[in-house]
Structure 1
Amino acid sequence: MDKKEIKCSFCGRDKQDTNVLIAGITGHICDSCIAQAQNIIQEELSQRSRSEIEGSLILQRPADIKGALDEHVIGQDEAKKVLSVAVYNHYKRLLQRPATGQDEVEIEKSNIVLVGETGTGKTLLARTIARMLNVPFCIADATVLTEAGYVGEDVESILSRLLQAADYDVSKAERGIVFVDEIDKISRKSDTPSITR
């Protein structure tokens, strides 16, 4: 083959019309086609990664979430309604596409506080939602949490348990639910002075 006839096998550009022309066994590829192929590959991998994340999270409408809660939890209708909408909005925010230049509504991050007497189904509600959405779930007892973790647990130990519940898959753990229980007992606990650290 004459050097003047060397062309990119993809776009047909002559060698002198390209910055770089890489030779293969049966063809050539120019720098422009390489850059275009790289963009296509990155976009494909990004879409695949996004669809894997979305595919593992089964987001349902608030009415469907409440319906599933009705099957597992008796009573607490108002709590189930509010929780269904809050959970839907939370996970919808996580699945929201990055800004594409369009004027989209941005959902603010939120946390949920369930208040009620012992045995009213707070933990059951949270556990049922986690199971229904197929996300990892971990319970942390607020009474054993300490700032520095000298005695008891700290935030890192809670996150470690969430990561265990997610089979050490960080992307799953990022969407998991941490249920901090017994917060009301902290105020009672702080009323009694302790001589131990």
Structure 2
Amino acid sequence: MILPVAVARGVFSGDVDRVYRRWARSRVRAGSTLRTAAGVVEIVAVEEIRPDAISDDDARAAGSTSAVEVRRSLRGVAIDPVFRIRLRAVGADPRERLRESVDDLAGIAARLDRLDRASRHGAWTRETLRLVADHPGERAADLADRAGRERDPFKLDVRKLKNLGLTESLETGYRISPRGAAFLAGEDEPAG
């Protein structure tokens, strides 16, 4: 489950403590955590509910203005159950500190090489890093088009780079982190 940036920030500000999703079966479980743009969020509880049981107070606790708005925003098949997922802020995303670290750039190269070798569509890591660096804040779909790739697999690959502390998500798109910029600068230096 992915939380929109505004919802994740709402969890950390204390304004949001739940979300609603319509799924054929629950895709999350209590006790698990999500890394979000605002930090790590814990899934406190997951319960199946009737959509008409959502009140305006429930909607405000989910960052919406009304129960009608929440019900309208539910995606999926109308016969699928609706789940109330209670959330709690846990703390900072460990990738935040990693993004600032410029240590072990050789280790990063080795990890990127492994990702490239394991890929079904060939080497992608450095090209993707350069795209993000050259086009900060550009939508993932547009970056994927530039790379000649489909959006969703492209986004999964950017998430792999984010997990290494090389990129970070913005409200729209991504930007290169200081760690990613240092890595690219080292890659672009002529061998001496």
Tell me the TM-score range normalised by the shorter chain.
under 0.3
TM-score with structure 1 length normalisation? 0.27
Which structure: greater strand fraction? Answer: 2
TM-score with structure 2 length normalisation? 0.28
Larger C-alpha radius of gyration, 1 or 2? 1
